[in-house]
Amino acid sequence: MWNSASPPVVTVDLATTFAALGDPRRLALVERLYNGDALSVSVLCEGVDVSRQAVSKHLKTLTDANLVSSRKSGRETLYSLEREKLQEANAFLALVGEKWGDAFERLKLHLADADASSDPAPAIAEASSTTAETSKQTRED
């Protein structure tokens, strides 16, 4: 699918990003952090059905993937989303989507060319058969 002139650039860093985003609970944490506010584990735990320990573990995975950063504020640690990492992932997905779109467009053109150059006899026979059946049914009514 990729032409040799522009293969996708997949790095270990990008793979780590997608692996970290591959869990629904981590995606939910990313969504909660998306508005830009730095949030504590306590706030991130509100309204979820997992323990504080589980949320902390997911935050560590996101931090290790550089999707989330943390800073101390008094006795609490506040977590923020690193939007640049999401933008890198989005840019990669856009590139892949563009490549697939191009491939599908080429396939569509190829199929249209194949249809245009195919033997029209079966289509003509089918049309004649359908017309004959319609005429017969109309006469019977």
Q: Could you read off the pLDDT of 98-126 as tens digits, one per residue?
A: 877 777 777 877 777 777 776 555 555 55
Amino acid, res. 55: V
Q: Is the pLDDT of residue 74 over 50?
A: yes
Residue 100: domain span: 86-140
Domain CATH number, residue 60: 1.10.10.10
Same domain, 96 and 49: no
Q: Which two tokens stand for residue 132?
A: 């004959």
3-state secondary structure of 64: helix
Contact predicate 78/71, CB 8 Å = yes
CA distance 113 to 27: 44
Total domains in the fold of the chain: 2
Q: How many residues does the chain have?
A: 141
Give me the pLDDT at residue 13, please. Answer: 85
In this structure, are residues 40 and 8 in contact, taking their beta carbons and an 8 Å threshold?
no
Instruction: Give the model's pLDDT for residue 105.
Output: 75
Q: What is the pLDDT of residues 49-65, one digit of tens each?
A: 899 999 999 999 999 99
Same domain, 92 and 136: yes
Closest CA to 23 of 55, 47, 46, 1: 55
